[in-house]
Amino acid sequence: MTDTQARPDAPVMPLHMQRNRFDPNPEISRYREDGEVPYLNAAFGLDAFVVTHYDDVREVLGDAATFGNTADIARRRGDTVHMSEEEAARMRAGQLLAQDPPEHTRLRRMLTREFTQARMRRLQPRIDEIVESHLDAMEAAGPPADLVADFALPIPSLVICELLGVPYADRAEFQTRSNRLLDMTLEPKERMEVARENRAYMSKLVTGAQADPGEDILGMLVRDHGDELTHDELTGIASLLLIAGHETTSNMLGLGTLALLENPEQLALVRDEPDLARASVEELLRWLSIVHSGVPRLVMADTEIRGVAIPEGSLVVCSLPAANRDSAQIEDPDRLDVRRGAAGHVAFGHGIHHCLGAPLARMEMETAFPALLRRFPTLARAETTEEVPFRAYSFIYGLAALPVTW
C-alpha cells in the first residue's frame, strides 16, 4: 500500500503525486518504461498529459514558448472559489512560477544576484553557526528528539527569515499557513482563505521594508528596484521565497535523514567522507525528488511528446520523481548511491524556472547532513519504520515527524 492511501478519509491523490515511501508509485514508473504519455487526473478535477521520461521532462521544462506557466489554470475549474479580476491579478503579481517571458525575465533578473554562488558562500559561516546551535540544543536536551521539529524545519526557516527580513518569532504562524497551503486535503474555499491570510501578512512586511529598507533581500529590492516593482509584486516575490525557502529544504533534511538511516552504508559515507558532501546531496535530491511536479504547463500550440499528439490548450504535468528514476539517464536508478553525485537531475526543475534558491538549499544540506551524523554517530530511529508519518497529502513530499535517538 502506498503512503498516499494511508488515510481512508482523505481524497485519492493524483497518480504522479503518490509515493511508496521513497519511491514513485509503481504505476507511474510503468508508464515511463512502456514509453506512454498518459492522460490522467492532475489534481483539483483537472486532467493533464503526464510526462515521465527524463528527456521529455527536460524538453517540456526547457521550452517556455510551447509549454507556458502563465495559464490561470485554477479559474478554468467549475468549482473554483470566486475572485474578482482585480484580486486574481494581485494574487499572480510577483509570482515567478505563474509568469512567462518577458515578465518572468524582468522579475527573475532582479533576484538572481542575491542567489549567486558567491553570495551563498558569504552565508556559509552563518549557516554553520545555525546548524551547530541546533545540534547543541538537541544534545543538551538529550534523546529522544523529533528531528523534523528540532533540526530539519528550524534551520532553513531561520536562514530564509534572515535573508528576507521576516521576524523569526513569526515562524510558527507562517509555517502553519504554508503547511495548509500545501495540503491537498483542504477544500478550495479554505485554501483561498489561507492564501489571503498569507498575502496580508507578507504585504505588511513589504510596507515596513518600503518605509525602512534593511540589508535583507526585501530591503535590497526596495532600494534597487523600488521604481520597477509594485507593492503587489514585492508581496508575491516575498511570499514565494518564504514558502519555498523553508518547505523544500526542511523536507529534504527530514526525509533524507530517514533514507540514510535505512541505508547505513550510505550514511557512513556521508558521515565519514567530507569530500562526498556535494555528491551525496545531489544523489539524495535525485532519489527523493520531494517536489512532485511543479506547476502544470499550458500547451500554447499543437505539439507532440513521444509521438503522442498534445493539443493546444491542454495541460502537461512533469513527474519529477519518475524522470529522476529513468534508467535511460542513470544506471540502476532505484539504488541510492551517494558516491555518484547524480549530476543533471531535475529535482530543482530545469530551464528558466529552475529553482532560484538551489545554491542556498545545496549549501544548507551539504552543511547539515554531515554535521548531524558526526555529532550523533549512533543516530537511530526511535520508532519503527511503520510509525514514521509521511506527508503523503502535500504538494511537497516529506515527513511530519522523525523521532530519533542516539
Rounded to an integer, the average pLDDT of 154-169 is 89
DSSP one-letter string for 31-61 = HHHTT---EEEEETTEEEEEE-SHHHHHHHH
133 vs 114: CA distance, rounded Å: 25
Q: What average pLDDT does the segment 159-175 reach?
A: 86
- Output the nine-digit C-alpha cell for 315: 495541460
Q: What does the pLDDT read at residue 279?
A: 96
pLDDT of residue 361: 94
User: What per-residue confidence (pLDDT) applies to 5?
Assistant: 43
Residue 23: band (very low, low, confident or very high) from pLDDT cuts 50, 70, 90 = very high
Mean pLDDT of 160-179: 86
Indicate whether 4 pLDDT > 50: no
**Interval 69-109: pLDDT, tens:** 875 555 444 445 667 778 878 888 888 888 889 999 999 99
Query: What is the mean predicted confidence (pLDDT) over 6-32?
Result: 86
> What is residue 345's predicted lDDT score, i.e. its pLDDT?
95
Q: Where do the domains of the chain lie, and which CATH numbers do they carry? A: 15-79+100-405 (1.10.630.10)
What tens digit of pLDDT does each residue of 350-401 get? 999 999 899 999 999 999 999 999 999 999 999 776 688 999 898 899 999 9
Q: What is the pLDDT of residues 313-332, one digit of tens each?
A: 999 999 999 999 999 999 99
C-alpha–C-alpha distance, residues 320 and 339, integer Å? 21
Report the C-alpha gap between 167 and 32 in whole angstroms: 45
Q: Tens digits of per-residue pLDDT, 231-268?
A: 999 999 999 888 888 889 999 999 999 999 999 999 99
pLDDT band at 2 (very low <50, low <70, confident <90, very high): very low
Q: Which residue has the higher pLDDT, 354 or 117?
A: 354
Using only the alpha carbons of the chain, give its radius of gyration: 21
pLDDT of residue 185: 83
- Report the mean per-residue pLDDT for the chain: 89
DSSP string across 59-125: HHHH-TTTEES---GGGGSTTPPP--HHHHHHHHTT-GGG--TTHHHHHHHHHHGGGSHHHHHHHHH
Residues in the chain: 406
Q: Full-prediction pTM beyond 0.85?
A: yes
pLDDT tens per residue across span 289-306 = 999 998 889 999 999 999
